[in-house]
Structure 1
Amino acid sequence: MPAYAGGGEADTARRSGMFGSLRVRNYRYYASGQVVSLVGLWMQRVAQDWLVLELSDGSPVALGIAAALQFTPTLFLSLWAGVLADRMDKRRLLVGLEIGLGLCALVLGLLDVTGLVQLWQVYLLCLVLGAVAAVETPVRQSFVVELVGRDQLTNAVALNSMTFNLARMVGPAVAGVMIIAVGTGWVFLINALSFVGVIVGLLRMDAAKLHRGEPVPREKGQLVEGLRYVRRRPDLVILLCLVFFISTFGLNFYVTLAVLARNTFGGDADAYGLLSTLLAVGTLAGATLAARRSARGRPRLRLLFLGSLAFGVLEIAAGLMPSLWLSGAVLIPVGIAMMTFTTTANATVQLSVAPAMRGRVMGLYMLVFLGGNPLGGPVMGWLAEHFTPRAPLVVGGVVAILSAVVGAVVLARRGGVTLRATLNRGRRD
């Protein structure tokens, strides 16, 4: 049986409502480091998109290629990262991975500020960054339950989303101003510095108070074992398919918003920053609502499907708005619906699997969540270039609606697999 530490902290957190996870010391270190680093991450994302557009004379296809290169390693590495997460000390593994992410930002920043940067170098660094992130993301996702315990996981996932989207709101706005004032290179250098906060937070944690299960011994066939585990769970298969289609074709805002701001509304980097910030306002609000719901109980599949359906309808509306400000206004409820869907999906998957399988299942989850971007990014860039910059938002919304309807119908025909049964199975396993 797993030996869990820190029971007193976990019990206190469980009783403390919306911000319960912050009562856990290790989680506070984790969250504080993430706040600093994620602001830098979103600053870099905006700067990188803008740098690619500048180096390619505004080509949406070039932006799609950069996105594809950054997410392609997920196809090959995320499943193996899940195996590593089940075998190794996640905290120590994360320290090394965060150093790697920081070095990628440092190199890109130095190339940019010295005037040596070329498009192929940005592409190469996108690929390297994607390789490190493909390993880091499943490890980080499966590490959260070790910080707070199973009963507080839903709350921690929601608070992580709040942190992520607070940074998403601040980072692009700051990046837009900085790009105009000092250029993209300094944005990359600031992001490199921000990783110090994450690394310090990880090193200051009390390892004795982590909620660790028994490590999985190294054996042959562990990756295949994880895939077979998911295959035997039709509820997980349906959920992962839903996540794949919506994330691949609906969550391509890194392509769609930059092109919409520049090529449709004739805006500058600050216009792109504005759209990204307004979307972040919505995602922060959605994450806050998710944190409030987590204090009342576990997530529900009905909420998952309603969130994905609402996201599709609102994304279409955002793509059809006639002005920059109207599109930005609709992006706020788009963000709320998006976070309702993503936080519910993440918590459902983690709570419904056996602890010994969590790393591998989260590796598969991140594969379907991010691995479709090498397909979705170029497709959306092609649609924007050959039709209209509005087309990717409209098509993404239609795919989200169809995915939600088909997923709900398939579940109903299988006898209505309930979240309660799914979660109870994960607890029994």
Structure 2
Amino acid sequence: MASPALPAAERRPRAGGLTAPGRPLASLRHRDFRVLLASTMALQVGSWVQTIGQGWLVVHDLGGSATNLAVVALLRGAFLVLVSPFGGVIAGRQERRRLLMLYTAVSAVIAVLLAALVSTGRIELWMVYVLAALAGIVEALAGPIRSLLVFDSVGPDEMTNAVALNALGGNAMRVIGPAIGGALIGLIGTEGTFEVQAGCLVVSLVLTARLRRFEPELAEAKENAFVSVARGIAYVVRDRRMALIVGMAVLPSVLVYPYVSFLPLFAKDVLHEGAEAYGFLAGAVGLGSLAGGAIVAATSNRQRLGPPMMWSCLLYCLSVASFTFMRELWLAVGALVVAGVFHSIYAAFNASLMQMKAAPEFRSRVVALQTMTWGMTPFAGLLMGAMIDRWGAPHTVFWWMMAAAALTLALTLGSRELRRV
């Protein structure tokens, strides 16, 4: 599918400054990207506030275990895996702004319902499960659209810069969101986190409405959705380079990311701290990611993205492994800040390669596979949670990080295709 032509006003660069082509803020000269970035940042801060609230609700208010945390994440992830491929197909056939507004409104309703249940004392664990599943469906449909709109807003030449700035904004909210969430729990209770999330989603909805229309690609509008999904997966399988790029998205999703779901246990049982400490831990990776995003934005005109993607992923794994040895809060926060730097670099380059190296006619379906990989995390998290219940969080997470580091190193040294992209 061909990328839509940008309007003349969007194509015309300014004479100089940080937003000139090739400069660190080049993508910000595109109006639609600026609006999309603001919308995403509002969504992200609400999402992180909600993550803190939901984790504390399960572990503290409802007396849940690591396995219960894993089940909540699993239900959300299951629908990311099952629905995301179809979300990519829909995103390639329907007007994207209108769809994104609809999905954001549904997310706000879910947040309001959760806040009402908590504030009235009627919340039960099974209700958290149901609402997590609904949220997973909506995220599976909306995720590919947001990723595609980044490309639509700036075009291929500044894709890496736009991804870096998008990640930079999201990670700034990752620092702010958990801190707000932890403070809200202490001040007004868990329900406050869900109320703030709903407000952030309304702001995101209003901003999304300001985007221009992005007309769908209609080349395959009459093709059966299941056939379209199957063709997208077959393309990735037969194209070795794309298979490796997608594989590098899967590896951390399965072996590294699950640890985030268990940060409440590290705060409570390993560091012997409360909700505010949990907020600091959750925000630490985001703080480091700000530095990592700045590095990517400043170096986004590099020709080869594969090598820095691979090495930063390896260092990310090792940094999280070092976190498991920390028994003082600020040392643990420091280790996760370092992890955030390398995570941001890895994630930005991987997301860029996903869209830049995909054949145009398969781009929306490849992006949907990226969203699908996010849903794999909770499946692995269920196993990690069971192992934590038996052997403890530090030992379990450490050995998972070592396995991820070993596989990343093997791919780094053994894959010529990844070193060349």
TM-score bracket for the superposition, by shorter chain length: over 0.9
Equivalent AA in structure 1 for residue 54 of structure 2: Q
Q: Which amino acid aligns with 2:69?
A: L
Matched, 1:371 2:375: yes
Task: Give the deviation of 1:16 after TM superposition.
Answer: 6.2
User: Does 73-82 or 2-11 show the bigger shift?
Assistant: 2-11
Which segments of 5 or more consecutive residues in structure 1 lack a partner in the other structure?
A: 421-429
Give 2:51's aligned residue: 45
Q: Which runs of 5+ in 2 are unaligned?
A: 14-18
Contact 1:256 1:393 in 2 (8 A): no
Correspondence list, 1:228-307, <5 A = 228-294=234-300, 296-307=301-312
Residue 407 of structure 1 aligns with an amino acid whose one-letter code is L
Distance 2:3 2:37 in 1: 25
Report if aligned partners of 2:312, 2:343 keep a CA contact under 8 Å in 1: yes
- What's the counterpart of residue 426 of structure 1? none
Distance 1:184 1:129 in 2: 18
Aligned match of 1:427: none
Write out per-residue CA displacement over residues 307-350 of structure 1, whole angstroms, 9 at most, x where no aligned residue: 11111111111111232221111111100111111111100111
Q: What does the per-residue CA deviation read over 1:357-415, in whole Å, with 9 as the maximum and x for residues that have no partner? A: 111011112212x1222322112212221112213431232122122122224423xxx
Residue equivalent to 1:107: 113
**Contact 1:86-1:215 within 8 A present in 2 as well:** no
1:309 aligns with 2:314: yes
TM-score relative to the length of structure 2: 0.93
Q: Which residue of 2 aligns with 1:380?
A: 384
Taking the TM superposition and a 5 Å limit, the aligned residue runs for 1:157-236 are 157-207=163-213, 216-220=220-224, 221-236=227-242
Letter in 2 for 1:194: C
Checking the alignment, whether the CA contact within 8 Å between 1:165 and 1:283 is kept in structure 2 is yes
Structure 1 residue 354 and structure 2 residue 359: aligned? Answer: yes
Give the corresponding residue for 2:140: 134
Distance in 2 (alpha carbons) for counterparts of 1:348 and 1:406:
20
What count of residue pairs does the alignment treat as equivalent?
A: 413
Deviations 1:53-75 (A, max 9, x none): 02442511111111111111012
What amino acid sits opposite 2:71 in the alignment?
I
Q: Taking structure 1 as reference, are residues 74 and 3 closer, same or farther at Cα in structure 2, changes over 3 Å only?
A: closer
Deviation, structure 1 residue 24? 1.1
Cα deviation, residue 253, structure 1: 3.9
Cα distance in 2, alignment partners of residues 237 and 410 from structure 1: 15
C-alpha distance in 2, partners of 1:352/1:110?
45
* Letter of the structure 2 residue corresponding to residue 132 of structure 1: V
Work out whether residues 157 and 347 of structure 1, in 8 Å CA contact, stay in contact via their aligned partners in 2.
Answer: yes
- Once residues 33 and 246 of structure 1 are traced to their aligned partners in structure 2, the CA distance between those partners, rounded to angstroms, is 27
Paired AA for residue 348 in structure 2 = T
Equivalent position of 2:409 in the other structure: 405
Does the 8 A contact of 2:91 with 2:216 survive in 1? no
Alignment partner, residue 125 of structure 2: 119
Deviations 1:25-64 (A, max 9, x none): 1111112222222211110110000001024425111111
Partner residue in 2 for 1:84? 90
| 1:240 Cα deviation from its structure 2 partner | 1.8
Give the deviation of 1:284 after TM superposition: 1.6
Cα distance in 2 between the residues matched to 1:2 and 1:26: 15
SS in 2 for 1:371: helix
Give the conservation status (yes or no) of the 8 Å contact 1:315–1:396.
no
The answer (yes or no) to whether the contact 1:249–1:395 under 8 Å persists in 2 is no
1:3 and 1:315 mapped to 2: Cα distance? Answer: 40
Give the alignment's TM-score, normalised by structure 1.
0.91
Task: Tell me which amino acid in the other structure corresponds to 1:320.
Answer: F
1:424 aligned partner: none
> Quick one: distance in 2 between partners of 1:411 and 1:271?
40
Find the aligned partners of 1:216 and 1:198 in 2 and give their Cα distance. Answer: 30
- Between the aligned partners of 1:293 and 1:140, the Cα distance in structure 2 is 23
Corresponding position of 1:333:
338
Quote the offset at 1:3 in angstroms: 5.1
Distance 1:340 1:329, change over 3 A: same
What RMSD in Å do the two structures reach over aligned CA positions? 1.9
Q: Judge conservation of contact 2:4–2:152 (CA < 8 Å) in 1.
A: no
Amino acid at match of 1:242: M
Aligned to 1:344: 349
Aligned to 1:425: none
Alignment-mate amino acid for residue 230 of structure 1: V
**1:92 shift after superposition:** 1.3
Contact 1:299 1:347 in 2 (8 A): no
In structure 1, distance between residues paired with 2:177 and 2:91: 29
CA distance in 1, matches of 2:396, 2:9: 49
